[in-house]
Amino acid sequence: MLAISEAICRYRRQQGIDGPLFLGFDTHALSVPACTTAVEVLAANGTNIMLAEHDAYTPTPAVSHAILSYNRGRSTGLADGVVVTPSHNPPDNGGFKYNPPTGDRPIAAPPAGLKPGRMS
């Protein structure tokens, strides 16, 4: 989780994404500790992190909606997001879903070690 979070920070810098990062997580047992680790790395990199009120569980579509709503009418300071979820991975695995400013999968090729969509 540390390496993936750091890679996301580097990707954001490379792409000039400097708005907030909407961070969500699901009910999987590993999601809360993974989210905590992500917050630590993102904060250490100066990322403005947006979490659901009261740290509520957040489905992927809610994060996409938040990104699109925030970015509507903007051309700078765009938001992106991450959902900590194993999604379709086996139950003993966790994973990250990265959502770029478009609210879905990245358009530009991510750096080595980062795959579009679900990352684990």
Neighbours of 41 (CB within 10 A): 18
Please give the angle made by the CA atoms of 29, 34 and 39, to the nearest 5 degrees.
140
**pLDDT over threshold 50, residue 88:** yes
What tokens were used for 63? 């994060």
**pLDDT over threshold 90, residue 68:** yes
pLDDT digits (tens, 9 = 90+) for 22-53: 999 988 888 888 899 999 999 999 999 999 99
- CA dist 41 and 50 (Å) reads 14
pLDDT digits (tens, 9 = 90+) for 12-24: 999 999 999 999 9
Phi-psi region of 76 (alpha: psi -120 to 50; beta: other; left: phi over 0): beta
Residue 84 · residue 24 · CB < 8 Å: yes
Task: Please give the positions annotated as active site.
Answer: 87
